[in-house]
Structures are given as C-alpha cells and as structure tokens.
Structure 1
Amino acid sequence: MSGKTKRFLIAIGIPTLYAVVLRLFFGIDTWMDLFSVMSITFLFLLPIIVGTLTVYLSPREKAKRIAYRVFTPWISVLLFLVITLALAIEGWACWLMILPVYLLASSIGGIIGGYLKTQKISDRLNISFLVLLPILIGPIESLIESVPGTYKAYTYIDIDAPTERIWSNVTRVHEIPVEDDKGYLTRMLGFPRPVKAELNFEGVGAYREAIFTKGLVFHETVTEYIDNRRMTFDIKAYPHEIPSTALDEHVVIGGDYFNVLNGTYELEKLPNGLHRLHLYSNFRMNTTFNFYAGWWGKWIMKDIQNNILQIEKKRSEAN
C-alpha cells in the first residue's frame, strides 16, 4: 500500500469511526436525558466535524482544492450510512431524511478543515476540542426544552361522480390492492401502506379505524359530521401496537417526536359539475429542529393523503 493511499484511508477512516462511536454514545438509553440522536448537536454539528476531520487529515496539496474540500467528506458520511444500516443502528427512513443535511454540513466542515490545513493551524488541542464539542454541547442542548410545533397538511382532488357515491368511499375505504397504492414517498421510506378504513356508523362519536400494513392503526373518533359534506375526526396512534420492526424509532407515529392529531374531509360541489374532495390533517412535531422535521412531516402526510384521495377518486368514478 502506497503512502498516499494509506493517508487517504486514514483521512476517511478516522472520521467515519468517530461518527460511529459518537452515534453509539448518543444512543445509550441511560444517557437520553443528556445526549439525544434527535438533536441539533447530532444532526448538524456531527457532520460538520466529520467533514473538518476528513479534509484536515488529508495531504495539504489535496486540501488546497475546493472540490476536494466539498466532496471528499461525502465519502465519510456515506460510509457512516452504510455501517449504521448494516449494523441496524439506524433505519433507512431516517437516513433518507437526514442525508441532505449531512452532505451539506460535511461540505461546510470540509471547507473549515481545508482552511485549518492550508493555514497550517495544526494545534492538536484545537482538534481535540473540536472532537469533544458534541459531548460538551449535547447536555447544554438537553436543557433547552423543545417547543412542539403543530403543522397542517392540506390536499384535494376533483372527482366526476355523484355526491353520495363519493361520500360512501370516504367514510369506508374497502380493501386496497397493492397495485392501487400510489404513495411513492412513503413506499421509498418504508412506511406502512394503507389497507382499509372502517366506520361503525355515520355521526358524531362514531369510531373509524384506518388500518395500515406493519401493524399501524389510526384510531379515529368523529367529532363533527355533516352527511355528504364534512367529517372531522381526532386521531390516535399507539406506539405499543406497532411492531419495533415496522418503523424507525425516531419516526414512529404517536411516538416522542411525531404525532397525528386530527383529520378532516370536506366535499365541495364545483360550478362545472365536478366535486372537490378536500382532505387535511394536523400533526405535531416535537424536536429542537422542527424547522426541518416539520417540512418532512408535511411532505409525508401529503403523500399519504394524496394516495388515499386518488383511491377514492378512482373508485367513485368507476362505480
């Protein structure tokens, strides 16, 4: 093995190992009050440090190149991804959501590492402090209470069918074949797909069960009902009902970080004779980075809702 190859492997290997060790450290249950994977420290600071170390440990002639600073840290991040997936430390859904942040943050770190390297700032004390920074900041961040944020996901679809026929497909959704499932994002993330929805009667106080694969069930209680026009329902999802293999622990619906609160169907008659079926839901995110998690939550909920609306449209127009 040549000296250059050895130095490159060191530059990639040490930051990757550092990231894996820190992930294991932050994942220790007994320390959850001080260190959390679902934190700005882990999701934003860690990849910056990984990028900084990757370029700083590289040869100076390579660290001078901007492209090297920006893209080489991605190798460390992707290796970290592969290792955590292979060891079942993280789930695929979580990685897909945080990967854009990790790549961008690692590039920022790479630029910092390139500056330190080319300016010959080689004080080991500075690098040691940088490596220990997440352990120092993590407990401080844990003292900051996360403020739950409530978000709304709104979707609609136009349907060419009689009112009663559309409404009957809204209140009760019969078995959904796999080929009718158009939830592309949720399928890519490995989320459960919808199977059916059952309502015991039409009216306030009715119980509706929206059943998904992998053991996910939305328990829905109707709080407002106007026949053929509007139905609002509270939603409960109980994490203990969902098998641990069904969803990544950080994206479990009804868990510590993500919860669906309620949903509403509204059926509107349009001047052109069509009907517009509105479906919107309110959900809550509880993280210290709701500015990012809320965006993903809204995208996921819209994908689920659009999928259901397309099924209801197809069935209403086919009858």
Structure 2
Amino acid sequence: MSKQKVITILKIVFLPTIYAILLRLLFGVSTWKELFDVMSVSFLFCLPLIVGALTIYLSSVENVENLAYRIMVPWIPIFLFFVITLFFALEGWACWLMVLPLFMVVASVGGLIGGYYKLKEKNNTLYVSLFVLLPFFIAPVENMIGKIPGTYKAYTYIDIQAPDSKIWKNVTRVKEIRADQDKGLLTQTLGFPRPVKAELNFEGVGAYREAIFTNGLVFHEAVSEYIDKKKMVFSIKAYPHEIPSATMDEHVVIGGEYFDVLNGTYELEKLNNTTYRLHLYSHFKLTTTFNFYASWWARWIMKDIQNNILQIVKSRAEKE
C-alpha cells in the first residue's frame, strides 16, 4: 500500500472522528449546558450527519460513485468514535448502545449528502465548511424552544395458573431474586441494575415498600389504591443522589434530569377457574427535545423490567 493511499485512508477515517470527539467535548462542557447539550437534537442528529458527509466528501470520486460505499463507510468513524468515548469514559455503554442505530442511519444519510456534493463538478468546499458548523447554529434555537416533557405508559401482562391468593402474595412480597432467575435480556445487555427484592410493610392504602435493585438502585413505592387480590396502585420515586455514580450513565439515570418513573399498577383478572391474568403497567416521564426517539427505548426498557418481574411471579405462584 502506497504512502499516499495510507494518508488518504487516515484522512477519511480520522478527520471525521476528530471532529466528532471535539464536538462531544464542546457539548459536554457543563458551564455551556444552557447553550450546548449532549442530550439534544443538535448533537445526536447533527454529529453523525456531518461525520457521514465529511467521510464521503473526503473520499475519492471513484469510491464515492459506489452507492454502498456512500452508505456504509460513514459507519467506520462512528464506531471508532464510540470506542474512544467508551475507553475514556466520556459516555457509558448503555447510552451509546441506544443511540447506535440512530447514528448509523443518520451517518448514512450524511454520506449520501456528502456524495452528492462530491460528485458535482464545481468546488463545494464552502458549503461543506458551513455544514460542519451546523450544530452551533441549531443548538441555540433548540435551547430557545426548550425541552418538552412527555408522559408515557409501558403495559405488560402474563397468564398464571394458580390461585389468586398465591399470585397476590408474590405481588406484594417479592422475595430475593437470584441472578440465574433474572430473565431481563434487554436490561442485562444495557448493563442496567437487576431486581433483587421488594416487600410491603402492610397491605392497604398508605403502605410502603422499597423495590431494591443491584448496584444501589432503590425505588421508593407508596400505595395509593388497594383492593386485596385485585388491584394495587403505587407511586414510584428514585432519588439520583442515592444511586452510586458508577451504577448508571448520567443521561439515563432514573429520577434524573431526563428520565423518571412516576407510578405502577398491578391488576389481577380472573380468566377462568384455573387461570388469572396479571396486568402490570407503569407511567414514566421523559424530558428531552427528542422524546419521539427516546420514548421507544424507555418503553422497551420498562417493559423488559416488568416482564421479568411478571415471569418471576408466575414461576413462584405456579410452583408453590
């Protein structure tokens, strides 16, 4: 491989990566948070768009003429950017895993835009230079609009062949859950804390329990509505100051600036003489400028946690 070719490859891969790192550092400065924020459309959408455009614009015309090249090559600096930010702990694994699909799609769109300008005959260096500055124009406008809080629901249920008394006993008092009983695939992949135990201090309105998870995560729950063996509604509160900093990424911490769980409800429905359906749903709040994307992940995470708990209740009630 010639020296010129090596330089070209380095330019194509590392210049967009360096741009991405610099943008992450600038948007991560806490004193500038009122103007630039990592949890914003101007960062999460503009960064991969510009990285994709730069990667392709810096490539040779021969390569750019290949559609697959324009779509897939922008992923290389994106992956490299992820590795670097993880290595230096600029971001957590869970946060990046959730934005990876978005970054890949948007980077490909940026690659198509960069290819369009690259294949045009006239010099478009000025346009590309202005394109690189796009986040700094969009961020102030986005901050003027502000974050829009939204409340969402995660609904799950499971059918259990057991008496209602046994089911309800395992709802109100969840005994210690061993690691091998945890079936929360998504939360395990993201490295989220797993449920350990939860127990009401009494059965009725005003009752209190702590839903304890690993790594110091605790949900404080207070019962606001109670019908024995039929329904239990409870508020949920997690206090960020109680959660060790290593437990969750600051951008996805429960009870933090962007994501909070509000309440949960258990309802037990009789299907026939041997089977009951246990419903579990929760409401959670998101406060971002991209709730349309964040709500998908938040709902999947909450449903994964709920399905995991329902499976444990079913297994224990049916075995007793």
TM-score, scaled relative to structure 2: 0.98
- Structure 2 residue identity aligned to 1:99: L
Counterpart of 2:116 in structure 1 is 115
CA–CA distance in 1 between the matches of 2:151 and 2:140? 26
The residue number in structure 2 matching 1:139 is 140
Aligned-residue offset at 1:122:
2.6
Deviation by residue 1:262-300 (Cα, 9 ceiling, x = unmatched): 000001111252011100000011111111100111000
Name structure 2 gaps, 5 residues minimum.
none
Distance 2:302 2:216 in 1: 18
The amino acid across from 2:263 in the alignment is N
User: Where in structure 2 are the equivalents of 1:146-161 lying within 5 Å?
Assistant: 146-161=147-162
Distance 1:300 1:139 in 2: 31
Structure 2 match to 1:285: 286
SS at match of 1:221: strand
Question: For residues 91 and 281 of structure 1, what CA distance do their matches in structure 2 show?
Answer: 26
Whether contact under 8 Å (2:163, 2:274) holds in the other structure is no
1:42-57 matches, within 5 Å, as: 42-57=43-58
Aligned counterpart, 1:2 = 3
Structure 1: which 4+ aligned runs deviate by more than 4 Å? none
Q: Is the 2:51–2:77 contact (alpha carbons within 8 Å) kept by the matching residues of 1?
A: yes
User: 1:278, 1:123 → 2: CA distance?
Assistant: 58
Per the alignment, residue 61 of structure 1 pairs with: 62
Q: Kindly state the Cα deviation for residue 3 of structure 1 after the two structures are TM-superposed.
A: 1.2
Q: Does 1:168 align with 2:169?
A: yes
- Whether the 8 Å CA contact 2:118–2:124 is kept in 1: the answer is no
What is the correspondence of 1:73-84 to structure 2 with a 5 Å cutoff?
73-84=74-85
**Within the alignment, does 1:86 sit opposite 2:73 as a pair?**
no
2-side partners of 1:28 and 1:180: how far apart?
Answer: 41
Q: 2: CA distance between counterparts of 1:110 and 1:7?
A: 17
Equivalents in 1 of 2:217, 2:312: separation in Å? 19
Give me the whole-angstrom Cα distance separating, in 1, the residues matched to 2:122 and 2:235: 58
| Amino acid of the structure 1 residue aligned with 2:120 | Q
Q: Residue 96 of structure 1: CA displacement?
A: 0.8
> How many equivalent pairs are there?
319
> Following superposition of structure 1 onto structure 2, how do residues 258-269 of structure 1 map, counting pairs within 5 Å?
258-269=259-270
Q: Name the % identity.
A: 64
Partners of 1:64 and 1:41 lie apart in 2 by: 29
Q: Write the distance in 2 (CA, Å) between the matches of 1:13 and 1:121.
A: 25
Q: Secondary structure at the match of 2:220?
A: strand
Q: TM-score scaled to structure 1, two decimals?
A: 0.98
* Structure-2 change in CA distance of 1:274 and 1:138 (3 Å): same
Q: SS at the partner of 1:156? A: strand
Alignment partners' CA distance in 2, 1:290 and 1:120: 40
Structure 1 Cα separation of the partners of residues 3 and 288 of structure 2: 46
**Paired residue secondary structure (2:45):** helix
The residue aligned with 2:306 is: 305
Residue identity opposite 2:161 in structure 1: D
Deviation at 1:121, TM superposition (A): 4.2
Separation in 2, partners of 1:122, 1:109: 18
Moved more, 183-192 or 2-11: 2-11
RMSD of Structure 2 on Structure 1 (CA): 0.9
Gap regions ≥5 residues in structure 1: none
Give the aligned partner of residue 257 of structure 2: 256
CA-CA distance at 1:198 after TM superposition: 1.5
Residue by residue over 1:46-75, the C-alpha shift from the partner in whole angstroms, topping out at 9 and shown as x without a partner, is 101000000001111111111110000000
Q: Alpha-carbon deviation of 1:132? A: 1.2
Letter of the structure 1 residue corresponding to residue 192 of structure 2: F
**Other structure's SS at 1:235 match:** strand
